[in-house]
Amino acid sequence: MKIAAGADHAGFELKAQLAEKLRSLGHEVTDFGVAAADSVDYPDYAAKVCKAVMAGETELGILVCGTGQGMAMTANRFRDIRAAVCSEPFSARMARAHNNANVLCLGARVVGAGLAGEILDTFLNTAFEGGRHERRVHKINSSSA
Ligand code: RB5
């Protein structure tokens, strides 16, 4: 699978670990940075990943910041992006199965590398269930005010 990854200074280390894990599993990862601990603005990296997903360059995106929250808030402003902050595998499974989430947001100050890896595995290995959820996801996509 093709996956876009991005992080700010708080998340870059966890993002690097997850990218490595994904590559070892045979996935193709496009890493949009950041690659160092110097302070940056997370919306800039959320935008890069979301644009890759929107353009169909990658199927999914992964965003890591301190909490995952700022990344998700930014990502969900992009058309057809459904970003979910997940801190345990159940939420990751449901975000895929019911919400057809296409961007996983993780908080490097919330979860350790081991748990983050399990969350990521669950996210990648869960398919959208469709059916009644399809209508609701269409409503998410057409929601604006
Ligand atoms: C950076 O200090 C922090 O605010 C950021 O990584 C993130 O947690 C924002 O949501």
Q: Establish whether residue 10 lines the binding site of ligand 1, counting it when its CB lies within 6 angstroms of any ligand atom.
A: yes
b (16+ CB within 10 A) / e for 54-67: eeeebebbbbbbbb
Residue 3 in this model has a pLDDT that exceeds 90: yes
- Residue 13 contacts residue 21 (beta carbons within 8 Å): no
Which residue minimizes the CA distance to atom 10 of ligand 1? Answer: 70
| Ranges of H-type helices in 35-98 | 42-54, 69-75, 89-97
Q: Ligand 1 centre and the CA of 130: distance in Å?
A: 33
Q: Which two tokens stand for residue 138?
A: 């269409």
pLDDT in tens, 61-99: 999 999 999 999 999 999 999 999 999 999 999 999 999
pLDDT in tens, 13-57: 999 999 999 999 999 999 999 999 999 999 999 999 999 999 999
Active site residue 86: no
| Cα atoms found within 13 Å of the Cα of residue 76, Cβ hemisphere only | 17
Q: Which of 80, 81, 132, 136 shows the shortest CA–CA distance to 104?
A: 81
Q: Is 18 exposed, middle or buried (0-12, 13-18, 19+ CB in 10 A)?
A: buried
d(CA 131, CA 101): 15
CB atoms within 10 A of CB 52: 21
pLDDT in tens, 12-25: 999 999 999 999 99
